[in-house]
Structures are given as structure tokens and as C-alpha cells.
């Protein structure tokens, strides 16, 4: 028999429903896996009791015949989601010990759908990073290793690196992630799993620690496309507590899954062919094009002329919003307070924030403060807003000739921890393919497509029109079926 | 009214004044949260998770606050911007949990409008002046620091944090303390008529930032100073006087006025510098990414318009034009919303014509105001209701009560709160026209004053008043004065 921890969301849900195993057995197996996987540092807090309690409720629900959509499914929750009574830090020391008295809408919806919580997943501090090295609680280590026999520790991607590692290493069957400029897609690609960032506004941001409000979106990370569809259905939906959430019904994405792409036109944006990208990335992209053609789609070349401005635009807007969003961590009401003897209020602010924030967070607060300051606002922030509108228009125009776009998710496979941590720009470049869809608020997904020469996963990204998650998922399914990606990291932990 | 001038050593100076009035919006809940707004509650008992800026909390606009601001805009004939937007004003302070105030810098809800104020003219001739309003925007109030609770810590009360304010920005159209005072009083009256602000300056629900500059008449505007948070009409006028004189002295002593923020000290009646332009905060305003632009439908605006009561200017001209009240009476009765409401109720109870309205207006202004003044009560706490007053006036009109008796009855009404009919009935205060009773009294008086009768008959006409007085006294004031006159003339021959 397959180990329970090798099963995905759909299999666990169906198995509990069919009585193949109990939810308690599932939770117990994953709790053990979480404990065994501590070397990966994927969790900041483990909550085995909560997983068991939800499992018992699921078993009782089965007995009484009222199973919910996710009964029996334990999940990892990224530490950016506020969880009632469970420490929530956004992987920042400034929030160490903070226990919300409220539940984020998304985690609350998952729990209401019957899911349990295995723990709070590590991440880049305040979701700022692409490698998990900015976490205030030590970086997550990817379960993957290069096939060169070396055991260099690799980055799990970021910022949802705890999520990617935990799913990839079978510590949990699925996890929540958040994506501001690639934070679901890039770690999914680095660890050989699937992850979707839905249209901006699909998932409520209420109770998610804010990084950049106009970009932040929650989404699921799981082992395959169907599991992502199941989780997203439970996570999405209108919320009066978030004015930017969309007042629209949630589609039945799982029921709508189809790998038949007849009649669909797939755009290949020529601007995404950039210099310095390894040949293996191009190769997997070509392979993906062939797969989608095989699935019945027509392939067309399209142009997104403002693509090259996306990264600088993102690195103005996101830090600007972050510099303001993070002002509330001031030591006055909750979290860390460092108050120097005889110090003034300003001294307390400075000491608290100096001690509580890591280097990357400080860097972005400073960038954001700068681009909003008098005399620079027009040249930076205002200009970036205009360029953002042009980037969104590029996509709008592309939809005249295609229904979805296929691109690589990231310009490389997972890099080694420490390899880019001294060079912020090199780190930022990792999100070059992910950021445009974030700026335009479009649904985008990464699915695993193959391995590079060193045996590390590579992902392909699918982007579609606003609200058309179904097309994204279906194209992901078409690739998944043809890629037959069954690789998994060998357990060394 | 002659122009207000500061006499300086170098000649006359003109004062230029603009006011930014902060008016707390009357609403059950705060601008972006459901927390209550009542004044005087225990510290930190009216604070939601949003107001305390807990991680992941999001603002959602309270439509009632928006509605009140739109109604206010319509009441001052202003342009309503059906597309407006909220901006963040970023600064650190312990009374500002988010680290930013949500306000409207770039696209305010209400655009240009105006208010006509009455100025006391020379020789009693009133003049009017129109003061331009540049804009009204809505924003959050901050909390309150308490420095007297602990020897080494300051405490924060967040009850007021997030309460909706309207900032009503005038043009620099005022030229004297009197004009500024008249403007604030008129604005306050309009707000209270509309019901969008209670205008209570003592409780801080209305306060003004006073911008003052001086110039030689006809020259360009001088450099202005801004005196913050002035909380009474008297203080506003004092600030202008003091600040104008100070600026004239500075300039005439060869100095320059520094653009700065100042504070008013009512105990010393002086302003002092708070911070100069160089130390001014860089607020890094930018559009709040948590909130969508505010878009108002035509129907919403029309609904706001339809909900407006008759405003003071319209009411006053109706009183003068349709009811024939004197300009003075119309002015006094419409200046405060409580007076107008009371008088309207009296008119409704009296169902009277213009003649009734005129009598009623005189009675309210002389008798009622006089009595309330003695009691130290406002009209809203009057012991006599409009319906009772209407009955009283009716009793005078139909001859049941003489003027003297009416005053007596009114005194009793003030003490007991009883209806005038009941008082008249129970205490036998009805005026009598019983000629038999009056003739008997007259006969007695003439018998007792035979000498005076002789003098009168010899031509000393003014003794007639003596006989009237004696008769009225003997009748305990209840005799109908007309009948007394008639009978006395007959008896005295």
C-alpha cells in the first residue's frame, strides 16, 4: 500500500470518504512526517493537535454523513496568514510571540471546509525574498539536491518556501501560499510542485499580513493541478472585509478540469526570450509548446512590449506599499518592543524596528520610503503606476490574439543557498517572468515540466485573462499529463 | 463695515485668513471599521482590530460617513466628485496605529462650494460676504495620548482612532477676525442643520487650523502661518488678531514671516512655533492600495440631496418673505438649528397664518428666550413645549388672557410644565369682561378717591391711567383692559 503521505488532496479526500482510511490515520501520518522533516526548517510552528482535532471531526462527520469538501485533509498554512490562537509572525522577529485573536478569511474558509492545520510554514520575512533566506527563523532548505553527488543546500524558492518544501517533501499534501511577485509560482517551480496565483481579488486578503496590498494574492500549492483546483475553490470567494475582493461566484474549477485545448490559442511572448537564460529553460519551454499543441491548442507568437519594465516597476510599487504597510510594527501595541532607557518615542521606534526587521525588509522599506518621498514621487512611484497600466494593457492586447500565455516560470532552476544572497538584483531577477502577471492582476500558475541537467525541477508558467483560472488550470493539466512528472526528492532529512 | 486694518509703524496692514475646519462626522460607526464613536467612553473600549492596526486588518468604507460628507457638500452648493480616492498620509506617532492616516489628498470627495455669511454693518445695515470653499475631504481621526496616567509611560486611547472627519478647507477669503468668526458660526449652523456634525467645539468634534498672513492692502499675499487645532470661535478670532499683529511686528522690525505650524496657548493668549517648514514631515502621500476608488452613482447623490432639510438661508428668506417676520426675527430664529426646529414645531402646532407667526416669533424671542436665559437652559431643554406655547398664544389671541395674565401663566408653565389651559382653569386666571363686576369695582374706587375724580373732571386727563391701574389691581389683573377703559370713560364722564 502507498504511504498516506504520498497521497494528494483528492486522493485523501476520496479515501476518507470511501473509508479506505480514517482522517485520524492521515493526520497521524503527516504529523509524523512533519516531525521527521524538521531538518528542512519548513515549519515555524507545528500544530499536530489541531490536525488531529480536525481529523476527528472529519471522522465524526463521515459517520454522521456530512463530510465537507476538505474533510480529512491536513494542510500547511503559510505564516503570513493570521491564525486564531496560533503564533503568526510573517517569519519576522518583530512579530515573535504574536497570537492573533482572529482568523484570516482564507485559512478560516479552509478550516470551515473541513481541513486541518499541520502548522505554520516558514517563509521569507514579510514575503520579501525569493530564496527563504530572509526568514527571521532560519531559512528553509529545499528537499532537492543536485545530482552531482554534492549536498549543497538549495533554495526552496520564495517567499512561499516553507510551503513548497513541505509539499515537495511530503510533509503536507497541500499548503497555502501567497504571491506578490511570484512567491507561489517560483518556489513551486523550484521544488517540482504546482501552484496557482488566482486573479487579484479572488481570495480575500483579510487577515493576511500585508506586504504590497495591490499585488498580494493567496493561492494554493499542491502536488498536482487537480489538487490546486480543489484548494482554490475552498479558498476563493467574496469577503465584505476586503474592499478589493471580487463579488463574484466561485467557479467549480475541479469539475471544469479538461486537458482538451482544442480551439485555444497559446501566445508565446517574444519578450520573454531574454539573454543569459540557460538553454535548458528554453528547451523545456519548447517542450511545453509542443505539449500544448499536442493538446489541440494553436500556438501564436505575441508581443508584450513593456515586459522589460516590469521588474523595475514592481520594485518601486511593492516596496512603496510595503514601506507604508509595515509602519504599524512600531512596538506600541503588539510584537517586539525595544525601548532604550530614558529614550523618546522616536528612539523606541528606531530600536524596535532596527532589532525586529531583517536586512531585506529594511532595504525595501528604505526603497519604498524613497520612491514616495517629496521630489521623487513623480519620477518613481507615479511613473511606475503609469508603466503598470501599460503592462496591463500589453496583456489586454495580447488577448486579442490568444487565450493564454506559456512562459518559463523562472529563469533558472533552484540555486544554492547563499549563492545570490549578497546580490539583491540577481535575486530580484529570479522573478522576471512572474512579475508581469502580478502587476496586471492576472491568474498564473506554475506546473512542473521536467528536470535540468543537475536533476533539479523546472516549471512552466501559464497566464490567462482575469477571472479565467479555468483556462490556466486546464492548460496546466494538459502539460501535467504530457510531462508525466513523477520525480520527487530523495529523503535525506 | 469698515475694513479691518492693523495699524503698523509703516502704515495699515490687511489680514488674509483661510480656515481648515475639521468636523467629526455624525455616524454610529467609524470611517473604516464597525467600532462605535460615542464621546466620553472608557479608554480603548471603542476600538476594533482595524482601528488598532492589527496585522492583516483591512479598512472597508462606511457608506454612512460618505453620505454625510456628500450631504454637507450639497448644503454648501459644492461640486460632488462622483469619483474620489483615498490616500495614505504616512507618519509615525503613537496615536496613529497604522503609521498612516487614510485621507484624501489628490481626489477629494467634495470640490468647490461656498458659504454666505452675514456681517454686522454700520448703522445696523447688514452686509453679506461669500466665502469660497476649496474642498471637503474625509479622513480618519487619530487616537489620543494620555501623559498623566503613569510616571514614566504615556498611555494611548484609541477610541477616537479611525473616527470619520470632514476637513472643510476655505479659500483665503476672510479679512478680519469677525469675518472668520461669522464663517465658523455659519458653517457650524449648516453642519448642524444637515446633521453631519454636532458642531460641539468643546468636545473637539469641530476644530480649526487657522491660516493667517498679512500684506499691505492691494499687494500680493504674504507668507502664512498655520495655527493648529483651535477649538472655539473666540479662540479662532484671538489667534487671528494675535498672529496678524505678531507678523506685522516681525516684518516691520525687518524680519520675515516664516512659513510654519504654530500652536495657540489660550492661557497666555499667544501662539508659538511648533515646527517650521524645514522640519515639516514628508507625508509620502500615495493612493491607499487597500481601497478601491470611491464611485458614487447619480442616484446616491440625488438621494443625499433629497434628504437635506431646509437650510438656514432658505428658511430665513421664507420667514421674511412668506411669514412677514422682521429681518431680525428671521435671523435670530434660523441661526441655530434647535431654535429653528422649535419654532417650526410651534408654527405647526399653531396651524396659524402669518399673523400668528409674527406674534409667535416675538413671543419666542422676548418671552421664551428671556425665560430660558434666566434658567440657563438651551431651547432644546425648554420646560415649555411648542404645543404648550401655541396654546398660550391662542389664549391671548382669543381674549382669554391679557398680556399680564399670559406672563403669569407662562411663569407657572415654566415652573410646573403644565398646560396653559389647565393652569387658567384651575387657578381662575381667566380674564373677565363681566361689566357688572367691573362697574362695581369702579364705583368703589371712585367713592374712595373723590378728590381725584374731581381733579380729573376738572381737566387733569392723565389721572385716567391711575383709575385704570386701580381697577386692574382690584380685579387682580383679570379684567379685560378694553372693557375697563370703556366703563371708566363712561363712569368718569
HEC letters along A283-294:
HHHHHHHHHHHH
Look at A208 and B90 and tell me if their CB atoms are within 8 Å.
no
Q: Is residue A313 part of a domain?
A: no
Catalytic pick from A71, A135, A168, A183? A183
B40 touches chain A (CB under 8 A): no
Q: DSSP 3-state assignment of A407?
A: strand
Mean pLDDT of B459-483: 84
Question: In this predicted model, what pLDDT tens digit does every residue of A47-68 receive, in sequence order?
Answer: 999 999 999 999 999 999 999 9
List the single range of A209-213, B103-107, B399-403 with lowest mean pLDDT.
Answer: B399-403
* pLDDT (tens digit per residue) in B427-439: 877 777 777 888 8
pLDDT in tens, B304-323: 999 999 999 999 999 999 99
Q: Is A418 left (phi over 0), alpha (psi -120 to 50) or beta?
A: left
Question: Is A489 inside a domain boundary?
Answer: no
A24 CA to chain B: closest CA distance, Å? Answer: 32
Evaluate whether residue A48 is within a structural domain.
yes
Contact A241 B93 (CB under 8 A): no
Question: Which of chain A's residues have a Cβ under 8 Å away from the Cβ of B101?
Answer: none
Per-residue b or e along B175-210, where b marks 16 or more CB atoms closer than 10 Å to that residue's CB: bbbbbbbbbbbbbbbbbbbbebbbbebeeebbbbbb
- Packing angle, helices B177-194 and B63-75, rounded to 10: 130
Active site residue A78: yes
Q: Cα distance from A95 to chain B (closest Cα, Å)? A: 9
In a domain, A424, yes or no: no
Strand partners, B167: B22, B137
Q: What's the CA gap between B206 and A360, in Å, rounded?
A: 44
CA A411 distance to own-chain centroid: 17
For residue A25, how many C-alpha atoms fall within 13 Å in the half-sphere facing its CB? 11
Kindly provide the ipTM of the predicted complex, given to two decimals: 0.96
Angle CA B433–B436–B438, to nearest 5 = 60
pLDDT per residue over B37-49, tens digit each?
Answer: 888 899 999 999 9
Catalytic, A303? Answer no
pLDDT at residue B492, as a whole number: 84
Over 90: is that where the pLDDT of B489 sits? no
Other C-beta atoms closer than 10 Å to the C-beta of A353 total 21
Subunit contact B98:A328, Cβ cutoff 8 A: yes
Task: Residue count of chain B, please give it.
Answer: 493
Q: Give the helix ranges, DSSP H, for A305-433.
A: 310-325, 345-356, 359-372, 383-398, 424-429
Q: Do B54 and A374 make contact, defined as CB atoms within 8 angstroms?
A: no
The answer on pLDDT for B462 being more than 90 is no
In this prediction, residue B318 carries a pLDDT of: 96
Phi, psi of A75, rounded to the nearest 5 degrees: -130, 155
Using an 8 Å Cβ cutoff, are A198 and A443 in contact? yes
Instruction: List, as ranges, residues 83-142 from B with C-beta within 8 Å of A.
Output: 88, 90, 92-94, 97-100
Residues of chain A with C-beta less than 8 angstroms from the C-beta of B52: 333
pLDDT digits (tens, 9 = 90+) for B202-218: 888 999 999 999 999 99
* pLDDT score recorded for residue A401: 97
DSSP letters of B437-449? HHHHHHHHHHHHT
Residue range B233-272, pLDDT digits in tens: 999 999 999 999 999 999 999 999 999 999 999 899 888 9
Q: Which of A90, A102, A346 sits opposite B49 (nearest CB)?
A: A102
Do the Cβ atoms of B90 and A327 come within 8 Å?
A: yes
Question: Which of chain B's residues have a Cβ under 8 Å away from the Cβ of A366?
Answer: none
* Three-state SS sequence of B313-368: HHHHHHHHHCCCCCHHHHHHHHHCHHHHHHHHHHHHHHCCCHHHHHHHHHHHHHHH
Closest chain B residue by Cα to residue A105: B56
**Of the candidates B116, B88, B114, B119, which has an alpha carbon nearest to the alpha carbon of residue B101?**
B88
Q: Distance between CA A149 and CA A328 in Å, rounded? A: 47
Q: Which of A33, A78, A120, A130 is catalytic?
A: A78
Nearest to B55 among A95, A332, A373 (CB): A95
B50 pLDDT higher than 90: yes
Instruction: Write down the H helix ranges in A236-309.
Output: 279-294
What part of B 225-284 touches A (C-beta under 8 Å)?
282, 284
User: Which run of H or E residues covers position B302?
Assistant: helix B298-306
Domain count, chain A: 1
A309: three-class secondary structure by DSSP = helix
Of A216, A372, A316, the residue nearest B286 (C-alpha): A372
A239: nearest CA partner in chain B: B60
**What does pLDDT average to over chain A?**
97
Neighboring chain B residues of A243 at a CB cutoff of 8 Å: 58-61, 290-292
Strand partners, B87: B103, B287
pLDDT at B135: 98
Q: What was the pLDDT predicted at B119?
A: 87
Residue A183 is a catalytic residue: yes
Residue B291, pLDDT score = 97
Contact A385, A214 (CB under 8 A): no
Name which residue leads in pLDDT, A275 or A10.
A10
DSSP one-letter string for A75-112: EEEETTB-BTTB---TT-GGGTT---SS--HHHHHHHH
Q: Give residue A1's pLDDT band: very low, low, confident or very high (50, 70, 90).
A: low
Under an 8 A CB cutoff, do A373 and B282 touch? Answer: yes
CB atoms within 10 A of CB A296: 13
Task: For each of the domains in chain B, give its residue range(s) and CATH number, in order of start.
Answer: 6-303 (no CATH), 310-427 (no CATH), 435-492 (1.10.10.410)
Q: SS3 string of B454-482? A: HHHHCCCHHHHHHHHHHHHHHCCCCECHH
A46 to chain B, minimum CA–CA distance in Å?
Answer: 21
- The reply to whether A238 falls in a domain is yes
Q: For residue B290, list chain A residues with Cβ-Cβ distance below 8 A.
A: 205, 210, 213, 243-244
Q: Which of A245, A198, A244 is nearest to A472 (CA)?
A: A198
Count CB-CB contacts under 10 A for residue B366: 10
Residue among A243, A244, A369 whose CB faces B284 most closely: A369
**Chains A, B: CB contacts under 8 A, how many?**
101
For A99-127, the pLDDT digits (tens) are 999 999 999 999 999 999 999 999 999 99
pLDDT, residue B279, reads 67
Q: What share of chain A is helix, strand, coil (3-state, %, to 5)?
A: 40, 15, 45
- Per-residue model confidence as pLDDT tens digits over A463-477: 999 999 999 999 999
Q: In this complex, do B284 and A321 lie within 8 Å of one another by their Cβ atoms?
A: no
Spot the catalytic one: A159, A163, A168, A323: A159
Distance from CA of A224 to the nearest CA of B (A): 29
Is residue A469 assigned to a domain? no
Q: Is the pLDDT of residue A186 over 80?
A: yes
Closest approach of A435 to chain B, Cα-based (Å): 18
Mean pLDDT of A164-192: 98
**pLDDT, tens digit (0-9, with 9 covering 90-100), for B78-110:** 999 999 999 999 999 999 999 999 999 999 999
The pLDDT tens digits of the residues spanning A285-325 come to: 999 999 999 999 999 999 999 999 999 999 999 999 999 99
Q: What percent of chain B has pLDDT over 70?
A: 98
What is the number of helices (H) and of strands (E) in chain B?
16, 16
Which residues of A fall within a CB distance of 8 Å from B285?
A: 372, 377
Look at residues B439, B433, B380, B379 and name the one whose alpha carbon lies nearest to residue B402: B433
The SS3 assignment for A421 reads coil
A349 contact residues in B (CB cutoff 8 A): 92
Cα radius of gyration (chain A): 21
Q: Which of residues 145-184 of B touch A (CB under 8 A)?
A: 154, 156
Range of the domain at A164: 4-258
A374 three-state secondary structure = coil
pLDDT at A228 over 80: yes
- Within a 10 A sphere around the Cβ of B485, how many other Cβ atoms? 15
Mean pLDDT computed over B145-149? 90
pLDDT of residue B275: 76
Q: Of B58, B98, B286, which is closest to A320 when you measure between CB atoms? A: B286
Choose from A324, A335, A340, A380 for mutation: most chain B CBs within 10 A.
Answer: A324
With an 8 Å Cβ cutoff, are A372 and B49 in contact? no
Residues in chain B with CB shorter than 8 Å from the CB of A95 are: 55
Is A270 inside any structural domain? no
Q: Which residues of B touch A332 (CB under 8 A)?
A: 94, 97, 156
- Provide φ and ψ at A164, rounded to 5°: -65, -45
Q: What is the mean predicted confidence (pLDDT) over B205-232? A: 95
A17 lies in a domain? yes
Residue A416 is classified by DSSP as: B
pLDDT in the model for residue B479: 79
Q: Please, what is the average pLDDT of chain B?
A: 92
Q: How far, in Å, CA of B256 to CA of B250, rounded?
A: 6
Q: Residue B123 has what pLDDT?
A: 53
pLDDT at B21 exceeding the cut of 80? yes
Question: What is the domain-level CATH number for residue A129?
Answer: 3.90.1300.10
A327–B98 CB contact, under 8 Å = yes
- Specify whether the CB–CB gap between B71 and B307 falls below 8 A: yes
Give the confidence band of B483 by pLDDT, cuts at 50, 70, 90.
confident
Nearest to A475 by CA among A467, A485, A463: A463
What are the chain A neighbours of B97 within 8 Å (beta carbons)? 328, 332-333
Amino acid at each position: 500500500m502507498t504511504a498516506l503521505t504520498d497521497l494528494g488532496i483528492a486522493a485523501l479526500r476520496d479515501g476518507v470518504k470511501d473509508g479506505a482510511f480514517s482522517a485520524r490515520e492521515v493526520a497521524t501520518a503527516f504529523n509524523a512526517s512533519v516531525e521527521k522533516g524538521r531538518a528542512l526548517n519548513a515549519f515555524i510552528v507545528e500544530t499536530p493537535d489541531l490536525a488531529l482535532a480536525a481529523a476527528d471531526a472529519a471522522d465524526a462527520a463521515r459517520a454522521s454523513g456530512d463530510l465537507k469538501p476538505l474533510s480529512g485533509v491536513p494542510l500547511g498554512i503559510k505564516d503570513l496568514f493570521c491564525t486564531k490562537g496560533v503564533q503568526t509572525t510573517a517569519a519576522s522577529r518583530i512579530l515573535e510571540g504574536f497570537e492573533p485573536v482572529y482568523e484570516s478569511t482564507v485559512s478560516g474558509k479552509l478550516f470551515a471546509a473541513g481541513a486541518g492545520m499541520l502548522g505554520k510554514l516558514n517563509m521569507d520575512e514579510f514575503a520579501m525574498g525569493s530564496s527563504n533566506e530572509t526568514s527571521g527563523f532560519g531559512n528553509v532548505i529545499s528537499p532537492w539536491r543536485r545530482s552531482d553527488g554534492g549536498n549543497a543546500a538549495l533554495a526552496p524558492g520564495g517567499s512561499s518556501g516553507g510551503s513548497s518544501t513541505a509539499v515537495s517533501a511530503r510533509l503536507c499534501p497541500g499548503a497555502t501560499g501567497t504571491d506578490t511577485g511570484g512567491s507561489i509560482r517560483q518556489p513551486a517551480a523550484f521544488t517540482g510542485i504546482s501552484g496557482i496565483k488566482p486573479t487579484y481579488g479572488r481570495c480575500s486578503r483579510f487577515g493576511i499580513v500585508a506586504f504590497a496590498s495591490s499585488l498580494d494574492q493567496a493561492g494554493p500549492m499542491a502536488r498536482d493541478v487537480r489538487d490546486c483546483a480543489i484548494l482554490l475553490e475552498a479558498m476563493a470567494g467574496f469577503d465584505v472585509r476586503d474592499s478589493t475582493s471580487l463579488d463574484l461566484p466561485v467557479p467549480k474549477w475541479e469539475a471544469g478540469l479538461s486537458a482538451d485545448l482544442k480551439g485555444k490559442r497559446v501566445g508565446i511572448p517574444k519578450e520573454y526570450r531574454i539573454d543569459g537564460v540557460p538553454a535548458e529553460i528554453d528547451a523545456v519551454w519548447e517542450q511545453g509548446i509542443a505539449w500544448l499543441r499536442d493538446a489541440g491548442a494553436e500556438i501564436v507568437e505575441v508581443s508584450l512590449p513593456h515586459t522589460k519594465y516590469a521588474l523595475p516597476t514592481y520594485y518601486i510599487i511593492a516596496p512603496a506599499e510595503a514601506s507604508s504597510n509595515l509602519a504599524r510594527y512600531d512596538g506600541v501595541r503588539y510584537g517586539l518592543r525595544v525601548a532604550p532607557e530614558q529614550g523618546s518615542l522616536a528612539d523606541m521606534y528606531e530600536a524596535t524596528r532596527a532589532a525586529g526587521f531583517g536586512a531585506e525588509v529594511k532595504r525595501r522599506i528604505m526603497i519604498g520610503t524613497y520612491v514616495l518621498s517629496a521630489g521623487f514621487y513623480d519620477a518613481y512611484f507615479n511613473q511606475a503606476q503609469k508603466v503598470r497600466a501599460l503592462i496591463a494593457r500589453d496583456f489586454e492586447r495580447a488577448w486579442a490574439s490568444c487565450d493564454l500565455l506559456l512562459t518559463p516560470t523562472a529563469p533558472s532552476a533552484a540555486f544554492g543557498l547563499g549563492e545570490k544572497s549578497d546580490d539583491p538584483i540577481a535575486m530580484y531577477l529570479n522573478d522576471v517572468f512572474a512579475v508581469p502577471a502580478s502587476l496586471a492582476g492576472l491568474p498564473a500558475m506554475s506546473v512542473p515540466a521536467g528536470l535540468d541537467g543537475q536533476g533539479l525541477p523546472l516549471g512552466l508558467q501559464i497566464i490567462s485573462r482575469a477571472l479565467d483560472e479555468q483556462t490556466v488550470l486546464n492548460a496546466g493539466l494538459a502539460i501535467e499529463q504530457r510531462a508525466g512528472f513523477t520525480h520527487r526528492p530523495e529523503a535525506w532529512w | 463695515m469698515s475694513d479691518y486694518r492693523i495699524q503698523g509703524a509703516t502704515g495699515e496692514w490687511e489680514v488674509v485668513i483661510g480656515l481648515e475646519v475639521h468636523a467629526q462626522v455624525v455616524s454610529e460607526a467609524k470611517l473604516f471599521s464597525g467600532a462605535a464613536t460615542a464621546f466620553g467612553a472608557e479608554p480603548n473600549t471603542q476600538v476594533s482590530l482595524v482601528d488598532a492596526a492589527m496585522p492583516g486588518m483591512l479598512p472597508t468604507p462606511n457608506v454612512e460617513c460618505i453620505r454625510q460628507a456628500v450631504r454637507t457638500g450639497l448644503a454648501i452648493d459644492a461640486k460632488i466628485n462622483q469619483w474620489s480616492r483615498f490616500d495614505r498620509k504616512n507618519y509615525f506617532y503613537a496615536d496613529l496605529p497604522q503609521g498612516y492616516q487614510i485621507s484624501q489628498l489628490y481626489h477629494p470627495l467634495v470640490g468647490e462650494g461656498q458659504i454666505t455669511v452675514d456681517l454686522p454693518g454700520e448703522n445696523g445695515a447688514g452686509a453679506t460676504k461669500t466665502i469660497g470653499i476649496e474642498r471637503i475631504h474625509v479622513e480618519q481621526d487619530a487616537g489620543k495620548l494620555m501623559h498623566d496616567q503613569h510616571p514614566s509611560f504615556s498611555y494611548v486611547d484609541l477610541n477616537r482612532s479611525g473616527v470619520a472627519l470632514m476637513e472643510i478647507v476655505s479659500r483665503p477669503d476672510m479679512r478680519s477676525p469677525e469675518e472668520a468668526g461669522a464663517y465658523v458660526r455659519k458653517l457650524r449652523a449648516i453642519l448642524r442643520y444637515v446633521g453631519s456634525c454636532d458642531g460641539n467645539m468643546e468636545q473637539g468634534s469641530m476644530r480649526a487650523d487657522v491660516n493667517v498672513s498679512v500684506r499691505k492692502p492691494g499687494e500680493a499675499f504674504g507668507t502664512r502661518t498655520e495655527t493648529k487645532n483651535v477649538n472655539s470661535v473666540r479662540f479662532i478670532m484671538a489667534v487671528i488678531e494675535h498672529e496678524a499683529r505678531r507678523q506685522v511686528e516681525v516684518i516691520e522690525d525687518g524680519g520675515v514671516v516664516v512659513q510654519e505650524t504654530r500652536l495657540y496657548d489660550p492661557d497666555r493668549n499667544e501662539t508659538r512655533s511648533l515646527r517650521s517648514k524645514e522640519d515639516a514631515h514628508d507625508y509620502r502621500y500615495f493612493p491607499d492600495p487597500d481601497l478601491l476608488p470611491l464611485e458614487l452613482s447619480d442616484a446616491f447623490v440625488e438621494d443625499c440631496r433629497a434628504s437635506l432639510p431646509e437650510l438656514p438661508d432658505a428658511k430665513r428668506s421664507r420667514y421674511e418673505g412668506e411669514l412677514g417676520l422682521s429681518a431680525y426675527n428671521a435671523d435670530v430664529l434660523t441661526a441655530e438649528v434647535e431654535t429653528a426646529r422649535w419654532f417650526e414645531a410651534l408654527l405647526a402646532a399653531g396651524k396659524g397664518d402669518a399673523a400668528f407667526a409674527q406674534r409667535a416669533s416675538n413671543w419666542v424671542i422676548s418671552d421664551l428666550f428671556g425665560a430660558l436665559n434666566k434658567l440657563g437652559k438651551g431651547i432644546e431643554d425648554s420646560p415649555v413645549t411648542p404645543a404648550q406655547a401655541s396654546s398660550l398664544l391662542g389664549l391671548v389671541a382669543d381674549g382669554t388672557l391679557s398680556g399680564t395674565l399670559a406672563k403669569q401663566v407662562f411663569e407657572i408653565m415654566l415652573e410646573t410644565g403644565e398646560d396653559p389651559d389647565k393652569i387658567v382653569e384651575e387657578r381662575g386666571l381667566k380674564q373677565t369682561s363681566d361689566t357688572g363686576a367691573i362697574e362695581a369695582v369702579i364705583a368703589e374706587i371712585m367713592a374712595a378717591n373723590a378728590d381725584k375724580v374731581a381733579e380729573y373732571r376738572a381737566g387733569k386727563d392723565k389721572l385716567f391711567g391711575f383709575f385704570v391701574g386701580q381697577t386692574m389691581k382690584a380685579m387682580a389683573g383679570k379684567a379685560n383692559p378694553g372693557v375697563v377703559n370703556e366703563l371708566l370713560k363712561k363712569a368718569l364722564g
